[in-house]
């Protein structure tokens, strides 16, 4: 019998896809340095509220769309194959890129535990990042492991997801509570609170990456055909997941800010990990590592499942070969999962820096999908739903502007823009060649 997802399964899936590796690594490498404590908090709160407006468009979609593929099939059915292809092409890279990103984050955890002893068999350097065969093998093992778990079906993957997300939530709360009680507050007050001056630029830097950090909420539409409750009730779960994400990103940023100035945090390989290890010892650090492993496995699991669902829908609509739309005895698109795994196995050979360039671009790809969903909601509803949908569409355009307008504090790096243009170019030629074969 095919496994159906209950409310806890869906909450775990969304949380695991929202509270990813970035919540543990970005406080030291980005948040404190660029936005501090208060501007980061404001950026996340505003970003969370913005995503809630966008979520209204998704609620309308959940009411009207009962197919796999989420945003893709919804756009295809309402705005035709060209627009549907744009959304599907955007989300394909957006979802799949998250899998190797989280898998390579596992390597960072192991390096923190065992030091540079895990770095052996140096191969080459790409974008200033050294690539070691040992790191590729570790990342590859994680990708293959979760491909195997997902092929076994939703029952196996949801059990792993629920367990790891429970550990993630509990351990982060424990670590934060101990740190906030034990650490003297003078450093965080003097460096981040007392002399704080509001800066829209600092807030915008956080707002610009919210589409990427919170893209996990839209894994819910991808699994809408596997729910054991009404699809429209999943909206409340998505909102809970969004604001839990806002809370946890801030808790981990504050935990790092308790110990480090923004300059010192930037010098640490993993500032949050060092802060916890140096102040509450090995037990606290172990709890943090377990939390990070929960976030990483949750991200891999969630996006591998979402990717396979999306690819299955693309196959159904003849955008890619029919074989990807065949379910195995466990009710999952096995060939789609294997395809996601194979593509993900290529990424570690490119080095983590190149993967990050691709993932940064995913903010823009996610915002494109957000816009389409909200625009369709605006076109197909009346009254308050119509008004909220147009607000969501405008917010999506704002996200895009923050990422591509020259001079914007959140503008994508040049390598990310180049990769974006290449992906769009490949998509254009693919569509031109195969559009006549599409459903």
Which of the residue ranges 122-131, 147-156, 251-260 would you say has the lowest mean pLDDT? 147-156
In this model, does residue 293 exceed pLDDT 80? yes
Mean pLDDT of 251-258: 96
pLDDT more than 70, % of the chain: 98
Q: What is the mean pLDDT of the chain?
A: 87
68 three-class SS = coil
pLDDT score recorded for residue 251: 96
Mean pLDDT of 331-347: 89
Beta-carbon contacts of 298 under 8 Å, excluding residues fewer than 6 positions away, are: 12, 13, 15, 16, 17, 19, 20, 161, 164, 165, 168
| Pure H helices in 65-124 | 71-114
CB 352 within 8 A of CB 100: no
Which of the residue ranges 37-51, 55-69, 135-149 would you say has the lowest mean pLDDT? 55-69
Please tell me the pTM assigned to this model: 0.87
pLDDT band of residue 1 (cuts 50, 70, 90) is very low
409 three-class SS = coil
Q: What's the burial of 79, exposed, middle or buried (CB within 10 Å: 0-12/13-18/19+)?
A: middle
Pick from 343, 373, 38: nearest CA to 196: 38
In this model, does residue 333 exceed pLDDT 60? yes
pLDDT band of residue 37 (cuts 50, 70, 90) is very high
Which of the residue ranges 139-148, 220-229, 240-249, 284-293 would you say has the lowest mean pLDDT? 220-229
Which of the residue ranges 103-107, 174-178, 261-265 would you say has the lowest mean pLDDT? 103-107
d(CA 104, CA 347): 9
d(CA 298, CA 425): 32
214 three-class SS = coil
Q: Which residues are paired to 122 by β-bridges?
A: 132
pLDDT band of residue 2 (cuts 50, 70, 90) is low
Residue 232 is given by DSSP the state G
In this model, does residue 438 exceed pLDDT 70? no
pLDDT score recorded for residue 3: 61
pLDDT score recorded for residue 362: 82
In this model, does residue 319 exceed pLDDT 90? no
- String of DSSP letters for 241-304: HHHHHHHHHHHHHHHHHTT--HHHHHHSSSHHHHHHHHHHHHHHHHHHHHHHHHHHHHHHHHHH
Lookup result for tokens 């709360």: 173
In this model, does residue 7 exceed pLDDT 60? yes
d(CA 288, CA 113): 12
pLDDT digits (tens, 9 = 90+) for 193-224: 998 999 998 998 898 888 778 877 878 877 77
Which of the residue ranges 112-121, 307-316, 388-397, 402-411 would you say has the lowest mean pLDDT? 112-121
Pick from 163, 153, 199: nearest CA to 15: 163
d(CA 15, CA 360): 20
pLDDT digits (tens, 9 = 90+) for 392-421: 999 999 989 888 888 887 788 888 888 888
d(CA 153, CA 333): 9
pLDDT score recorded for residue 179: 95
Mean pLDDT of 134-159: 85
pLDDT more than 90, % of the chain: 34
In this model, does residue 244 exceed pLDDT 90? yes
Mean pLDDT of 92-121: 81
Report the b/e string of 406-424 with b at 16+ CB within 10 A.
Answer: eeebbbbeebbbebbeebe
Residue 412 is given by DSSP the state P
CB 226 within 8 A of CB 4: yes
């Amino acid at each position: 019998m095919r496994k159906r997802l209950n409310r806890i399964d869906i909450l775990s899936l969304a949380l695991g896809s929202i509270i990813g590796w970035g919540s543990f690594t970005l406080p030291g490498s980005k948040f404190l340095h660029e936005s501090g404590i208060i501007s980061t908090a404001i950026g996340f709160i505003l970003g969370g509220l913005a995503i809630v407006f966008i979520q209204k468009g998704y609620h309308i979609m959940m009411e009207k769309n009962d197919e796999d593929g989420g945003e893709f099939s919804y756009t295809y059915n309402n705005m035709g194959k060209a627009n549907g292809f744009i959304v599907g092409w955007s989300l394909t890279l957006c979802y799949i890129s998250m899998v190797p990103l989280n898998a390579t984050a596992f390597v960072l955890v192991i390096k923190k535990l065992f030091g540079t002893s895990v770095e052996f068999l140096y191969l080459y350097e790409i974008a200033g990042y050294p690539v070691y065969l040992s790191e590729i093998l570790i990342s590859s093992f994680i990708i293959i492991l979760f491909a195997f778990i997902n092929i076994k079906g939703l029952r196996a993957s949801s059990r792993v997801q629920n367990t790891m997300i429970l550990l993630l939530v509990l351990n982060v709360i424990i670590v934060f509570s101990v740190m906030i009680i034990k650490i003297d507050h003078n450093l965080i007050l003097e460096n981040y609170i007392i002399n704080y001056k509001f800066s829209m630029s600092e807030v915008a830097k956080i707002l610009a990456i919210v589409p990427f950090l919170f893209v996990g909420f839209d894994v819910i539409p991808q699994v809408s055909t596997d729910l054991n409750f009404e699809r429209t009730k999943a909206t409340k779960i998505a909102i809970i997941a969004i604001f839990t994400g806002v809370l946890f990103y801030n808790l981990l940023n504050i935990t790092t800010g308790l110990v480090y100035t923004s300059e010192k945090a930037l010098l640490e390989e993993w500032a949050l990990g060092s802060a916890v290890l140096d102040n509450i010892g090995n037990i606290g650090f172990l709890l943090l590592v377990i939390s990070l492993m929960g976030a990483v496995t949750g991200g891999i699991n969630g996006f591998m499942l979402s990717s396979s669902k999306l690819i299955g829908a693309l196959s159904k609509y003849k955008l890619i070969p029919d074989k990807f739309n065949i379910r195995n005895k466990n009710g999952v698109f096995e060939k789609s999962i294997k395809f996601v795994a194979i593509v993900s196995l290529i990424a570690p050979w490119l080095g983590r820096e190149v993967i990050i360039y691709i993932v940064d671009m995913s903010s823009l790809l996610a915002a494109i999908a957000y816009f389409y969903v909200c625009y369709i909601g605006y076109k197909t509803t009346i009254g308050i739903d119509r008004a909220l949908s147009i607000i969501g569409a405008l917010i999506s355009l704002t996200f895009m502007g923050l990422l591509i307008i020259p001079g914007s504090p959140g503008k994508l790096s040049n390598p990310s823009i180049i990769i974006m243009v290449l992906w769009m170019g490949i998509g254009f030629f693919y569509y031109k060649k195969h559009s006549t074969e599409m459903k």
